[in-house]
Structures are given as structure tokens and as C-alpha cells.
Amino acid sequence: MKPTRWIVAISLPAIFACTPPPAPSIPVSMPTSTAATPDASTKHPLLAEWTGPYAGVPPWDQVENTSAFPAAFDEAIALWLAEIDAIADDPSAATFDNTLGALERSGKPLDRVANLFFTLTGSRNTPAVQKLSGEIRPKLSKADDKVNFNKKLFERVAAVHAARATLDAQQKRLVEKSYEDFVRRGANLSSEKQARMGEINVRLAKLFTDFGNRVQADEDTWVVLGKGDLGGLSKAQIGVYEAAAKKRKLEGHAVINTRSAVDPFLTFSSNRALREKVWRAFVNRGDNGNDNDTNAIIAEILPLRAERAKLLGFPSHAHWRMSDTMAKEPSRAIELMDKVWPVALKRVSEEVADMQKLAEKEGAKFSIQPWDYRFFMEKVRKQRFALDQSELKAYFELNNMVQASYYMAERLYGYGFKEITGTVPTFHPDQRVFEVVRKADGSHVGLLYRDDFARQYKRSGAWMSSYRRQHKLDGGSRPIVSNNNNFAKGAAGEPVLISLDDARTLFHEFGHALHYLSMNVTYPSLSETPRDFVEFPSQVHENWVLTEEVLDNYARHYKTKQRMPKALIDKVLKARTFNQGFATVEYLSAALVDMKLHTDPVGKIDADAFEKAALKELGMPKEIVLRHRLPQFNHLFTSDAYSAGYYSYLWSDVMAADAWMAFEEAKDPWHPEISKKFIQIILSTGDAIDRNEAFRTFRGRDPKIEALMKNRGFQ
């Protein structure tokens, strides 16, 4: 009924950063209604109301005993289903408050325990947690279907929907969205079709868990480097690989099979044979014919999705999945991607020609291959712009960039950040906690948890999680959010230096956090926005990384503390659109393959063969591979959230580029009236008003693609 609340993100270059949630759909935390079972009846401590300051905080100090979760979930599910039965069996006529309002208030204990557990599946996904996830997710799927298929409950929702004309705007919006969601999840199906759909959902829940666990297992591997294998690497990078080896009790240095470790190696290592070895290990995750191979899982997921879509009356999984998005149907997303694809391909051919020319000048006897792209791209960048990434990273120290993001939030929205680490529980010593306040009066806004470093059993990439949502129902609730990254720790005592792309990712995830911290909706379900909108607020905030004030105040050399020289800043600005062909094709090819995969009405495919055929049809350059090959495409196969939805980053970026243009037109990235409109119309309204309408209100028109094309240097 209520969509998943985890907004998860993987760090990508430039603007593409988010990935799907690891958790199933569960109810949103709300105060208890008269129809609901009181919290006092809960027996398990993991279901209890959160206590402590700030209206309660997550009890991370109580999650060490993971074996306690199954019993907690069993009790929480029983309590939620009892609440649902009370709503459905209410003898009084259906009204907004006793039906939709009661649903919004239901499921608090389940919401709390699920928040705790599914945070662990992303951040501390130990073998024990992995095993439990495989048991718990099918149970949640069954419970969700019991609610969605509850005939008496749906009749009450339908009755309120039929009489919605008398409701206020937010109530009407909630009723319409809830009714459509019930239908989309099978409420109108016959009992026989519901039974089959339930079987499909339970099986998919298990397959999603297995897929993610197998990819994680392949990422927890490495390539060991000897003393003679470090050519081209900086001192800081060598320190990172040395620390990774020591942590795993290995001799020498280790490149762990995650993007945060692999991409820098491919960019700077002068050992071509090792670059190929590291690259092959990375792109073959999930595709090695061993116990971690995911091809059989994909082959089972796709026909099940296609069958479910057919049961629901949709031509394909993509049509079903996109029915509640801004795009509404696959053709609109494909139309947008088709406008960008040929232009990006042309740019790649130019980039490859530049790299090949340089490689041959240096005596190379080979044509550029995928494991060469980043290496020679960096050489071309250095030659063309005299811009050395190693020199640049010296000015992007992690803590400074965190403070820079807080400065952005203060200038734009009046937020202040006070560190309170040590005063509330955390699930790992690396985690830091900040209270968010309004600087004008010191009033409490919410809490921000930070978990910035890579470690074993933490999923790769970067993401934002919501521990508690904002709402104003029955006294309301203040938000608690979490930013999660996978920056590599260096040697003890060494600063953590990040790349410009890493800094953009940090601002991107913080943009998600600002979105959820700024919500101002009455009903918690209205804090959820369509998948192809949700990246918009995060993407637009990346633009402030290279503003003059941020660079002057926070891009300080980690040793000298001096500001970044103007000459270096000028080089960075001149190189802003460099390599956008690669970045766009790497991403967009994956989005196009995703859409082609999920518009297939049957779904019976061999993943490897399908991938090869689809890329050949697209005219994929041989020098580039998919950002995520199908056997490791967590976006698509760890939940339904981003399936037929990877196009969302491009769709959202059209809006983000156009919104940033508003600040550019005003010649002020901190323009007070524009930032006020942005928070009031875009950030705070959730999905209380249609997102297309919200953008038109902000910009006075629909978004135009021209700003995106300009930002990427395509026109």
C-alpha cells in the first residue's frame, strides 16, 4: 500500500547517483488511531516507541542480537494485520478519517523494526543478516498482499474515493493515490488471480534478496598488488590499497572489487595488464559461473514480472511500473533517451579519437579498450586543460566538503548543523550525527546521520535513507535521515581526499537529505514522490560544488590550508563538460537496456545474450561497457523500485538542469527568492500536488531539454 521509503544511491560520475531500495514496501510510522492496536500491547523491545531526545532516536544499541528480528517481525506483522482488520471491519460508514486516516496511522511497530533491520541490510549486511533477509522479506510480501487483497478494506477505500469531491486538496490527493495504488497492486483482481500474484510477489522477494547477496559476495573479493604494481598511483591511493590489504590480513596492497576502489585504479595505474585484470573482475561480478552467479536469478525474475503485469492488465512490466511516474508510459521515457543517445555517441567517438591519438604518440600499439578509457581520458584532460586530478584532490578533503554542503544548506534554506555524535546511539563507530535547526530561531528541524566510509558487509555506492518521515498528522513527526557513502579510508592519521566527482556525489546525497528534511506534508504517504522525480532535488544540489563561495571557503589544500588558486579553478570550470560522452553513454546504455528488457511482454531471456544483442542494436561503442551489466544490476534486481526506471536519472536531470538555469538567469546561485520558491514549491510539498504541476509553478512552464544538453557540452 505505501511505497518503500528507502532512497538509495550509488556513486556515479557527474550526476547519476541513485539506486534502488533494499527493502520491501511497509507501512509508514504514524500515531495510533482509535481503530489501531495501541503500542502498549507490543511485547518485543525492537517494536517499542523510540525514546531519548529529539522525540526519540533509533535504538542502534539494541540491534547487535540479530536473531531477535524474526520474532519481532512476526509480532509486528500480526499487530499491523489486526489494525487492518479493524479498519476493514468497522461497522460505520467509510469516511476519510476512519479509513484513509486510519491506514496512515497504522503499522507503527512494523515500521520501526523494519527501519532498523533494512538499514542493517545496507550498512551491516553480515551473513547472519543476509540469511534473515531471505526469511523476512517473503513474510512482508505476504503481509502486504493480505492488505492489498482485503476486499472489505478496498471497498471502503473505493467508497471514500467515490465521495472525494468534498475533501480538502491533500485529502483528495491521498485518496486518489491510495485508490490507484490498491488497483495497481491487484485489489480488483479475482481471488484466483490474486492468489497467483501473491505467489509471484513472495517468490520475487526471495529472488531479490538472493541477487543482492550474490553481488555483494562478488564485491567482497580483490586483486592483490605487488611492490612493482603501483606505477602511476599517488601516495594517497597506495595508502588506501595498503589499508585494504591490512584489514583483510593480506600482504602488500589490494584493490577491492567495488567502484570506489576500482575506478581510481583504472584512472591512474600505468600497468595496462593489471588494469585489464581489475576491470574484468569488476565487470564480471555476478557472471562468473560460480555460486555467486546471478544469471539464473534474472532468468526467473523477468518472466514472473511479465506474468504479474499481464495479470494486472498491462502490456509489460515497464507499463505497470511506470503507471504512477511522471512519464506515465515507456514511450515518453524512450523518446527522451532517443534525443540524447545519438549526440552522446558522437561525443564518444570524438573522445576516443583524442585518446587514440595521444596513445599512439606515446608509442602504443593497441586500440583503446574499456580498461584504457579512464587512463587515457585522464591523460587527455591533463594535456588539454593542464588539470591534474591528483593536484585537484588535495583541495577536496572530506570533512571540508561536508562542511561545504552544510554551508550550502544554510545559505539557501537557513539550516544549521550541530554535531551531537556520542549523545545518541549509532550502529558503527564511523557514524556521525547532526541536529538540523533553523538558524533564525534555533528550532528543531530533524536529525542527519552520516556513515561515510567503506567497510566489509556494507553495500557499495552511496545512498540516502529515511529513518523517520516528516508529517503533521496527530501532532506530527520530525524527520531523521541518513547519508551513506563508501569513501576509502587511508592510512591511520592521513586525511581523506576525495575527487571532484566524489564531492558532487556527496552534495547529491545531501540533496536527498535536504529534500526529506524540508518536507511539510500532513499525511506521511504524501512524502513519497514518483521515481522519476526523486532524483531531481539531489541532482540540482550538485551544482553548488563549483560555486565561488564554496570553493573559496572550503576547497582548501589539506596541508597548507590555502585556497584553491584561481588558475586551478579556471581549469576546473573549463573542463566541466569534459568526458561527458563517456559518462552519458555509460549510463544511458544501461537505461535503454533496462527499458528494452522490461517492455518485453514475456521476459524469457538469457541475460548475457540479451545484453550483447541489445548493445549491438544500440551501436554501443566497443570502448565502453554498461554502467551496470545485467548480472550485477542491483537497481533492477534487488527490488522493483528502479526496474524500468533507470531512465529516471535523465528525466530528473532535465528538470534539475532547467531549475539551475533559473539561478543562472538571475546571475546569483544564492538568489533568495528563487531558493525560497524551490524549497516551498519543490522540496516541501512531497507529492501533495502533482509533480509536473509543481515544476510548472516553479518555472512557469514545463522543463526544457536544452539546459541539460548545454550542461553536458552537447550544444
On whether the CB atoms of residues 298 and 630 are closer than 8 A, the answer is: yes
Which residue type sits at 78? Answer: A
On whether the CB atoms of residues 544 and 507 are closer than 8 A, the answer is: yes
Instruction: Map residue 225 onto helix, strand or coil.
Output: strand
Instruction: Map residue 465 onto helix, strand or coil.
Output: strand
Backbone phi and psi for residue 271, each to the nearest 5 degrees, phi listed first: -90, 100
| Gap between the Cα atoms of 222 and 277, Å rounded | 11
On whether the CB atoms of residues 591 and 646 are closer than 8 A, the answer is: yes
The residue assigned the cell 527501519 is 115
Pairing of strands 480-487, 444-453: parallel
| Gap between the Cα atoms of 205 and 656, Å rounded | 33
Instruction: Map residue 374 onto helix, strand or coil.
Output: helix
| Gap between the Cα atoms of 322 and 169, Å rounded | 24
On whether the CB atoms of residues 133 and 209 are closer than 8 A, the answer is: yes
| 484, β-bridge pairs | 451, 463
Long-range pairs for 261-266 at CB < 8 Å and ≥24 separation? 261/454, 261/488, 263/374, 264/237, 264/240, 264/499, 265/233, 265/237, 265/241, 266/371, 266/373, 266/374, 266/375
The active-site residue, picked from 509, 535, 611, 623, is 509
DSSP H helices in 362-482: 370-385, 389-393, 398-413
Backbone phi and psi for residue 482, each to the nearest 5 degrees, phi listed first: -140, 130
Nearest Cα residue to 323 out of 28, 635, 640: 640
Pairing of strands 480-487, 463-468: antiparallel
**Distances from the Cα of 309 to the Cα of 184, 195, 200, 602, 646, angstroms:** 9, 14, 11, 10, 18
On whether the CB atoms of residues 507 and 485 are closer than 8 A, the answer is: no
**Distances from the Cα of 442 to the Cα of 119, 403, 422, 427, 691, angstroms:** 29, 19, 21, 28, 31
Query: What string of DSSP letters covers 244-296?
Result: HHHHTT-SSEEEESSHHHHHHHHHH---HHHHHHHHHHHHTTT-SSSTT--HH
* b (16+ CB within 10 A) / e for 49-58: ebeeebbbbb
* b (16+ CB within 10 A) / e for 294-313: bbebbebbbbbbbbbbbbbe
Annotation says 548 is catalytic: no
Residue 4 neighbours by CB under 8 Å, 6+ apart: 21, 23, 24, 25, 26, 639, 641
The residue assigned the cell 544500440 is 618
Residues with a catalytic annotation lie at 509
